[in-house]
Amino acid sequence: QDVSGSIEAKKWKATPDDKLTFTPGNILEIDAKVTIYRDKLQLNINRATYIDSSNIDVSLFTPTSPVPLNELKNKLDQYINSIENTSLKTITKYIIDKYYKDFISYPAATKNHHEYSSGLIHHTLSMADIAKSLCNLYQLDYDFLIAGALLHDIGKLKELSGPVLTKYTLEGN
């Protein structure tokens, strides 16, 4: 699969080495022939090479937020900069910055809601929008609500395994 969709693929006459290459979650470069099987496209893989994904944007290979990541990043910056309480702003910014790469790429869950790449930041900003709306309706402490909304799910970065084949970690369980 990639961001455009998924297609069934088969590797016939697999070797013992293929078991290591075709591990779920691996990113592969493949040479394959497209065939039709039962009225659906299918790939018959001739060759596959493992690609180190440490420097690859995994959102190209997983479902991703319906809101572009640049918009989410800008909105996050706006919310952090809107906090006037210096201590809250410093703490919030420090924690977000410390985990930034994972914070903007992790899903918010394994299923049910925001279970896609950049789902955590998308969900977090939705919660900040709700907190802001509550502040407009009631006399509440904006800074505390926004800081709380931005940090309320930061533990997901330890609870979940990451944006590819997301599972609960041992620590998360």
pLDDT tens, per residue, the chain with 173 residues: 777 778 899 999 888 888 889 988 888 899 999 999 999 999 999 999 998 877 887 778 888 899 999 999 999 999 999 999 999 999 999 999 999 999 999 999 998 889 989 999 999 999 999 999 999 899 999 999 999 999 999 999 999 998 888 899 999 88
Distance separating alpha carbons of residues 65 and 62, to the nearest angstrom: 10
C-beta separation of 157 from 124 below 8 A = no
Please choose, from the candidates 48, 4, 3, the residue with its C-alpha nearest in 3D space to the C-alpha of residue 26: 48
Instruction: Give the residue carrying structure tokens 């994972």.
Output: 102
Instruction: Give the residue carrying structure tokens 């075709």.
Output: 22
Run of H or E residues at 32: strand 27-37
Please choose, from the candidates 68, 101, 96, 85, the residue with its C-alpha nearest in 3D space to the C-alpha of residue 142: 85
